[in-house]
Amino acid sequence: MTAQALTREDAPRMATWKALLLTLPIIPVAASPVMSALSSGDLLAIIPGFAISILLIVVFFRMLVTGRTHRYRSALFISLAIAVPLHLIPQLFELYGTNMLTPEMTYAAKARFCPMTVGAVLLPAVLKGVVVFPGVIAEGVVWFFMWIGASLVIGRGWCSWGCVFGGWDEFFSRLRKKPVIKHVDRKWRFLPFAILLAIVLLSAITFHPIYCEWLCPFKVVSEFEAPTSLATTIALVIFPLTFLGLVVALPLLTKKRIQCALWCPFGALQSFFNKINIFELRIDLDKCSQCKRCLRECPTFSLDEGSLVSGKALMSCTRCGQCVDACPKGAMSYHIKGTRISVSPNTARLLFLYPAYILFCGFGAVVVSDAVWRVLRLITTGSMI
Amino acid sequence: MHGFLLGLANGTSCLALCAPVLIPFLLSEGDNVRQNLVTLAKFLGGRLLGYLLFGLLAWAVGGLLLAAGGYQALLIGGTYVGLSILLLVAAFRKKKPAHGACVLSDAQVRFRRWPALIPLGMGLMAGLKVCPPLLLAFTGAASSGTLGGSLLLFATFFLGTTLYFLPLPLLGAFTRMPDLRIVGRFAAVIVALYYLGSGILLLAGGVQL
Amino acid sequence: MAKVKSVLGYSVAALCIPVMMVAVLGLRLPMAPALILGFVSATGLKHSANWTGGEVVQTLEHGTYRTEVHRPVFDALIGEHKKGFIQVAWRPPDALPARIDEEIDADADGQADFRIRLEPATKQASLTSYSPNVIELQGVYNLDETLAVRVRLKNPRR
């Protein structure tokens, strides 16, 4: 993975004692993995749980001391994405002996909910009280409340701090030094909204989770329908191709998070939360030198020429912090709506980082810890199950 | 009256089933409310034409078609494919402003105007494909003796269902935003691909999606 | 006014922290499962009949086992679909005879609509249709504590 040489004037560094003090509130939350492992009593789980908890505390501390967000967030985010199949697929084998959903499993509602089902599920659930996804309803409700709370708090920041799949295309987007495809037409940014509209309408009409059944590329790293009919066999061909294209190839070639920015309908839904979310990314136009580095760095096409005039990122901004870290003049910053720009950007960033980190620690970190435990099990016993 | 009341009772079904086609199409066209009314009128005209044609066919061949079990998959599959092609054409064609100063030959003018038939064609396909009146007209026309009676039932049924479509041109108020037009075009392509896939699978052998 | 907006902004931002705590960590509290199940119960959320097969409307006792006929499923968001299915299940699976041969009345009109012949051991099944609304046998499935078949139907009301 390449590390970009970033130089920036007035990097918002923080005194070590202050950073330590401000890291303290994170400790109980960062302890989630070790607490979860302690309850199992398995030493093989406690060790990685402990290590990951320490790592999370250190990373947060480093975020505060260095003033950098993106590189640390990215590492955590990518580790979560890689951890998910290592955590989920063995779990599915433990429960059902397979990660392929047979008709029996769907009729018994044994599919696993994920937040991406929201678009398909919401309309029939609200209008008719019917859940069109074949998963345990209580699990879906848990996801729903976590999702709605997180989305109200950090908006589309979910896509860079909470999403269990987005780290995959972030990983591939960071592999090359330079992009091969340098220009992507602006109109493709609207494709996720169109997919959202289409799947909401079609899922409501057919009472099937259309996106999950046909379009989700991340079935490669989770579960998928067994090929028991012509339709499911065709779907079995489609989703690996979408994964290879949207998650691997295009991010590699463009150095952008193509799946997240130009495909994911859940991301499109999250974009609407940016409109009501208290946090945003702003450009201090007095400091901005119009170098357009932020436009080039943004992995989700959320900054354009208009942003350099208005001083605002677009509604698709995932609050990843890459532009903030890249700006040589310190003109980009996290901002709280209603407050003055560039007055206390550190405070705004800190008030954003806390809930974002809570989201990662509270959920993602436990997944990472479990994944490490399973890898250790594989090494020591020859089986992840 | 009976047909009209049945239409009122079933109209939400028609709207719900036509919405995945109509909403992306209206958004992608980028027309204002008045122009959308014209587009909707063409769509509904096509829909009515589809019902009446099918009712006529049902009266003509009656029970023969009811007995031929495989025809439905072929008809519905074929209309799915036709609908998807029309949606794709509508999504990909570039709407150019009228060049008032150009002198065009009569043939060129007629050729340029063909896109105006797209909503009519979509309505025809939608009417054949998805709406409840299809089987109503079919069974009614096949079992009754009079064509006029079943067509009248059908026309009044159509009027009852059409009331639910009337708010749709208001989408034109949103299409001033060019971004929404792009979303509409993309959505039209996605819906078209879905119906294309469904249609091909139905033609291939009645596989349920 | 600017000061008020600023104070409000910071206050809301600070409130985000406990909100996120509740959203992410609150679900681990001991009372959370009861609250979630209560929410599901209060809202009446249920699975689509496409998955569950719909409610059982008829039970036929056969001594050691019984047949459960579910309602025909044509569920749609608005109105009904033109095509659907009916699920017929037999329980318990370990008490079933070597061969099941049963006529099923799908539309509760007192007349059989189709006949199922099923060998539970091999899950081989055949369907004989008595009604034009019966399309085909969709499949045989081992569900929780039942062996079930689904038969595709046309909606007689559409």
Neighbours of A293 (CB within 10 A): 17
Assess if residue B118 is contained within a domain: no
Q: Are residues C66 and C22 in the same domain?
A: no
Decide: A220 and A239 in contact? Cβ < 8 Å. yes
User: In A, residues 227-246, which contact C (CB 8 Å cutoff)?
Assistant: 228
Determine whether A48 is exposed, middle or buried from the number of CB atoms within 10 Å of its CB (0-12, 13-18, 19+).
buried
Residue A210: domain span: 98-277
Distance between CA atoms of A259 and A159, rounded to whole angstroms?
A: 11
Distance between CA atoms of A371 and A48, rounded to whole angstroms?
A: 9
Assess if residue A104 is contained within a domain: yes
- Residue C76: closest C-alpha in chain B: B13
Assess if residue A302 is contained within a domain: yes
- Asked if the Cβ–Cβ distance from C158 to B16 is below 8 Å, we say no
Assess if residue B196 is contained within a domain: yes
Q: Give me the interface pTM, i.e. the ipTM.
A: 0.89
Residues of B in contact with C132 (CB under 8 A): 66, 69
Q: Are residues C71 and C127 in the same domain?
A: yes
Residue B141: domain span: 2-93+129-205
Q: How many residue contacts between A and C have a Cβ separation below 8 Å?
A: 138
Does residue A74 surpass a pLDDT of 90?
yes
The CA angle C131-C136-C138, to the nearest 5 degrees, is 140
Q: Are residues A218 and A159 in the same domain?
A: yes
Give the sign of the dihedral formed by CA B157, CA B160, CA B164, CA B170.
Answer: positive
Question: Which of the residue ranges A120-129, A255-264, B92-101 would you say has the lowest mean pLDDT?
Answer: B92-101
Residue C76 near chain B (CB below 8 Å): yes
Does residue B108 surpass a pLDDT of 50?
no
Neighbours of A351 (CB within 10 A): 23
Q: Are residues A338 and A367 in the same domain?
A: no
Q: Are residues C144 and C88 in the same domain?
A: yes
What pLDDT does B102 receive? 39
Mean per-residue pLDDT over chain A, rounded = 90
Residue A228 near chain B (CB below 8 Å): no
Q: Are residues A130 and A207 in the same domain?
A: yes
- Asked if the Cβ–Cβ distance from C79 to B132 is below 8 Å, we say yes
Alpha carbon distances (Å) from C5 to A139, A317, C12: 38, 23, 10
Element (H or E) spanning A240, and its range? helix A230-242
Q: Are residues A291 and A235 in the same domain?
A: no
Q: Are residues A259 and A113 in the same domain?
A: yes
Number of domains in chain C: 2
Q: Are residues C102 and C65 in the same domain?
A: yes
Does residue B127 surpass a pLDDT of 90?
no
Task: Record the tokens describing residue C111, joined without a space.
Answer: 């007349």
Assess if residue A5 is contained within a domain: no
Distance between CA atoms of C140 and C71, rounded to whole angstroms?
A: 17
Q: How does pLDDT run across C79-96, given as a tens digit for each residue? A: 788 889 999 999 998 899
Decide: B190 and A194 in contact? Cβ < 8 Å. yes
CA of C79 to nearest chain B CA: how many angstroms apart? 6
> To probe the interface with A, which of B25, B27, B92, B182 has the most A CB atoms within 10 Å?
B182
Q: How confident is the model at residue B145 (pLDDT cuts 50, 70, 90)?
A: low
What pLDDT does B117 receive? 66
Q: Are residues C118 and C63 in the same domain?
A: yes
Residue A221 near chain B (CB below 8 Å): no
Q: Are residues A307 and A369 in the same domain?
A: no
Does residue A382 surpass a pLDDT of 60?
yes
CA of A353 to nearest chain B CA: how many angstroms apart? 32
Q: Are residues C108 and C58 in the same domain?
A: yes
Assess if residue A200 is contained within a domain: yes
Residue A24 near chain B (CB below 8 Å): no
Does residue C122 surpass a pLDDT of 60?
yes
Assess if residue B111 is contained within a domain: no
- Across the interface, of A194, A198, A231, the residue whose CB is closest to B209 is A231
Q: Are residues A139 and A226 in the same domain?
A: yes
Does residue B62 surpass a pLDDT of 80?
no
Number of domains in chain A: 3
Residue B39, classed as helix, strand or coil, is helix
Q: Are residues A372 and A247 in the same domain?
A: no
Residue C129: domain span: 49-154
CA-based R_g, chain B, Å: 18
- Across the interface, of A194, A201, A229, the residue whose CB is closest to B186 is A194
Q: Are residues A187 and A60 in the same domain?
A: no
- Residue A105: closest C-alpha in chain C: C143
Residue C71 DSSP label: P
CA of C78 to nearest chain B CA: how many angstroms apart? 5
Assess if residue B121 is contained within a domain: no
Decide: B131 and B14 in contact? Cβ < 8 Å. yes
Q: Are residues A331 and A356 in the same domain?
A: no
Distance between CA atoms of B173 and B36, rounded to whole angstroms?
A: 10
Residues of B in contact with C82 (CB under 8 A): 132, 135
